[in-house]
């Protein structure tokens, strides 16, 4: 193998598109490319050109330009980005123009080789299908990306507290997450209120030049750049829209993010807020059911319930939206940055990432003992500071997901897994059923797992949004569970048909979620995740791996209660037939359900069986290995690859 091909293989292996390929497939793919260099300002292709070439950005950056006169910057594409696949797949002309914004090296593949690549691995085609949907959605929005300062305004309904706390937190977290210049603008209802040097920029007839504004920006007690603006309360607040817009126009030249702290008695500014803001964070006492400002204006609105306000509706802190700020002491002592996992910090961190379009959800698939690999996945993500804002789990994934959303540390969860994996514990978990439609009643599983949750017994007790999935066995529908008893939620999700008895909940007979959606990435999307990681732990069946119970019950001969009286004793028992059938179903269906995810993790667990909980460390290690392999792609997705 030539040195250049080896280097190219190494590069391609770090790109998400090619991360699913086996080494031999990756070598073939690398050999289909040629390298081409484009200097800064050089045109790569024009809108209307024939789509006969596929590119991958190896280094540098491409700008994607569109619109009637090609003046609208649609995207910036850095290393690892695939380009040109849409026109190739659809046989269309180029829909946009590509220009190198700096010296850029591209991997180039012609149409014939591109088609050959698709035929060699169907996962490549699945990936492209997802990318095409995302590109169409972004282009149809008609918005330019990456060119404007983002302006946020925090405003409370009359009489509600929390605007200053939330605005300060957002400003600090935006700076921490992005590393860019952030300005906090505190708008005061009376000139001179607060700091004595607060200017009346909006009411005095002064020239708002950059030097003047910069001289008024001062660091606050946390080191954040802050500008105090006074307004006259004897003037109609709705008339300030133009003044704010002019101020923002100047501030955009100096700051990447601007956060306005609008005190509660300035609610009349709502009428003109669209003149100067992109995102409105509204402090409310309960979710609004009225037509939101967002539906009438061109900016996003997020609602936040501050439970410090007396009379606020006590909805779960783990609610996806509205965001809920708990009565947490960490908020009062400014520990938002230092304690990201505290109940008070969690919703503020998630809100900030939502504003940036970077919230991360993880879908943990089902798989009995295979599901222990989830702990290895979470361990690597946590060690590499990959945030998980929301979690959805199926079957064993639901048990891991609930514990994680409850705030348990990964190390504690791993210790509990080792303890639960002891053979003695496994035996204690077996409770044969004579009165329910399942070999096992499942009550012993409750007795073993529920005490591990301590006082957390309801979804209201979680600190992160969490869902579990089950299946209505009478309709075949997936059932998403995100309220009520945690015990009922995971118990329904693990009820493998025939093996573990189903349960009744809200008039439905529920069985294992793996029957309908073994890797519920779609649920993560529905919860609001901007970036979704899907973990399918169920491997394909591997010939030569002895079935789970066969080795234990074969010696029982004709007295084996799971086999057949008088039959050939080499015939698989009832449990093995059921579980192997489920394994085949969940592996294939899980891969299909995970297509909508941005990143997919598939630990190699083919040498293990469903019930080998006592091999917990080995299974966890496989989760670690699989996540480390695809970690560069994950970091790229969440913006941590710099």
The CA angle 529-136-319, to the nearest 5 degrees, is 15
The CA angle 256-258-262, to the nearest 5 degrees, is 175
pLDDT digits (tens, 9 = 90+) for 465-494: 999 999 999 999 999 999 999 999 999 998
pLDDT tier at 56 (50, 70, 90 boundaries)? Answer: confident
* Average pLDDT, integer, range 558-563: 49
* Average pLDDT, integer, range 48-76: 80
Structure-token pair, residue 311: 């009379």
Higher pLDDT, 407 or 561: 407
| pLDDT at residue 63 in the model | 86
Residue 138 pLDDT > 60: no
| pLDDT at residue 142 in the model | 41
Structure-token pair, residue 172: 């600090």
- Tell me what the pLDDT averaged over the chain comes to: 78
pLDDT tier at 570 (50, 70, 90 boundaries)? Answer: low
| pLDDT at residue 192 in the model | 44
| pLDDT at residue 447 in the model | 64
Alpha helix segments (H runs only) across 196-283: 210-216, 241-251
pLDDT digits (tens, 9 = 90+) for 279-316: 889 888 888 754 344 344 457 889 998 887 877 887 88
pLDDT digits (tens, 9 = 90+) for 405-454: 998 889 999 998 888 777 545 544 555 555 556 556 556 666 667 777 87
Percent of the chain past pLDDT 70, that is, above it, reads 72
| pLDDT at residue 522 in the model | 93
pLDDT tier at 393 (50, 70, 90 boundaries)? Answer: very high
* Average pLDDT, integer, range 567-578: 63
Which residues are CB-neighbours of 514 under 8 A, at least 6 positions away?
365, 366, 367, 394, 395, 471, 496, 582, 585, 586, 589, 590
pLDDT tier at 67 (50, 70, 90 boundaries)? Answer: low
Residue 130 pLDDT > 70: no
| pLDDT at residue 325 in the model | 85
pLDDT tier at 193 (50, 70, 90 boundaries)? Answer: very low
* Average pLDDT, integer, range 496-523: 88
Strand pairing class (466-472; 478-481): antiparallel
Higher pLDDT, 7 or 247: 247
- Identify whether the C-beta of residue 279 lies closer than 8 Å to the C-beta of residue 302: yes
Residue 132 and residue 226: Cα distance in Å, rounded?
A: 42
Residue that is written with structure tokens 């294992």 in the block? 512
Please give the C-alpha separations between residue 337 and each of 154, 168, 174, 282, 342, in angstroms, as whole numbers. Answer: 19, 11, 11, 22, 10
| pLDDT at residue 338 in the model | 55
Query: For residue 585, which of 527, 540, 534 has the smallest C-alpha distance?
Result: 540
Which residues are CB-neighbours of 512 under 8 A, at least 6 positions away?
366, 394, 395, 470, 471, 493, 494, 495, 496, 497, 500, 582
| pLDDT at residue 459 in the model | 93
* Average pLDDT, integer, range 14-40: 80
Residue 139 pLDDT > 50: no
pLDDT digits (tens, 9 = 90+) for 236-293: 555 666 677 777 777 877 788 999 998 655 555 666 676 778 888 988 888 875 434 4
| pLDDT at residue 143 in the model | 39
Looking at the annotation, which residues are catalytic?
A: 395, 512
Strand pairing class (599-601; 531-535): parallel
Which of 72-81, 139-148, 503-512, 584-593 shows the highest mean pLDDT?
503-512
């Amino acid at each position: 193998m030539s040195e250049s091909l080896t280097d190219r293989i190494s590069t391609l292996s770090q790109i998400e598109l090619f991360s699913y390929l086996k080494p031999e497939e990756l070598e073939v793919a690398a050999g289909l490319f040629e390298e081409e260099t484009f200097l800064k300002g050089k045109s790569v292709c024009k809108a209307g050109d024939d789509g006969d070439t596929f590119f991958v950005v190896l280094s540098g950056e491409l700008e994607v330009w569109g619109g009637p006169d090609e003046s609208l910057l649609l995207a910036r594409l850095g290393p690892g980005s695939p380009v040109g696949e849409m026109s190739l797949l659809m046989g269309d002309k180029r829909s946009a123009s590509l220009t190198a914004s700096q010296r850029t090296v591209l991997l180039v593949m012609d149409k014939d080789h591109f088609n050959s690549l698709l035929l060699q691995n169907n996962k490549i085609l699945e990936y492209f299908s997802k990318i095409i949907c995302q590109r169409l959605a972004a282009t149809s929005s008609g918005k330019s990306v990456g060119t404007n300062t983002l302006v946020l305004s925090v405003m409370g309904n009359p009489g509600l507290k929390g605007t200053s706390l939330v605005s300060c937190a957002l400003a600090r977290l935006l700076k921490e997450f992005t590393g860019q210049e952030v300005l906090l603008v505190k708008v005061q209802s009376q000139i001179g209120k607060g700091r004595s040097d607060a200017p009346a920029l909006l009411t005095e007839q002064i020239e708002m030049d950059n030097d003047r504004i910069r001289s008024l920006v001062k660091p606050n007690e946390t080191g954040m750049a802050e500008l105090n603006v006074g307004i006259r309360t004897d003037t109609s607040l709705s008339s300030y829209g133009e003044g704010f817009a002019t101020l923002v126009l100047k501030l955009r030249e100096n700051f990447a993010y601007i956060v306005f702290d609008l005190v509660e008695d300035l609610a009349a500014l709502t009428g003109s807020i669209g003149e100067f803001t992109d995102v409105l964070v509204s402090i409310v006492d309960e979710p609004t059911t009225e037509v939101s400002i967002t539906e009438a204006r061109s900016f996003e609105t997020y609602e936040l319930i501050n439970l410090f306000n007396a009379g606020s509706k006590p909805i779960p802190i783990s609610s996806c939206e509205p965001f809920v700020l708990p009565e947490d002491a960490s908020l009062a002592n400014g520990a938002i940055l230092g304690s990201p996992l505290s109940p008070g910090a969690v919703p503020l961190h998630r809100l900030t990432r939502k504003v940036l379009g970077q919230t991360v959800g993880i879908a943990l698939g089902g798989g009995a003992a295979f599901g222990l690999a989830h702990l290895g996945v979470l361990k690597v993500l946590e060690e590499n500071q990959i945030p998980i804002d929301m979690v959805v789990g199926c079957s064993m994934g639901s048990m891991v997901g609930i514990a994680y959303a409850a705030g348990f540390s990964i190390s504690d969860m791993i210790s509990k897994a080792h303890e639960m994996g002891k053979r003695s514990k496994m035996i204690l978990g077996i409770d044969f059923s004579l009165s329910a439609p399942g070999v096992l009643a499942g009550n012993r599983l409750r007795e073993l797992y529920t005490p591990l949750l301590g006082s957390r017994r309801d979804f209201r007790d979680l600190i992160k949004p969490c869902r579990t999935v089950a299946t209505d066995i009478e309709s075949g529908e997936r059932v998403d569970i995100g309220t009520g008893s945690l015990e009922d939620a995971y118990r329904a999700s693990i009820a493998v048909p025939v093996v573990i008895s189903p349960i009744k909940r809200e008039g439905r007979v529920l069985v294992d979620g793996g029957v309908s959606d073994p890797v519920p990435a779609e649920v993560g999307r529905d919860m609001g995740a901007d970036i979704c990681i899907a973990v399918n732990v169920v491997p394909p069946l591997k010939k030569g791996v002895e079935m789970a119970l066969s080795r234990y019950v074969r010696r029982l001969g004709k007295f084996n209660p799971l086999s057949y009286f008088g039959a050939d004793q080499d015939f698989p028992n009832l449990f093995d037939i059921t579980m192997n059938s489920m394994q085949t179903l969940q592996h294939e269906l899980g891969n299909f359900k995970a297509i909508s995810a941005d990143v997919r993790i598939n630990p190699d667990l083919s040498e293990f069986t469903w019930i080998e909980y006592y091999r917990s460390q080995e299974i966890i290690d496989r989760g670690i290995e699989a996540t480390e392999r695809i970690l560069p792609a994950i970091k790229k997705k969440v913006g941590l690859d710099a």
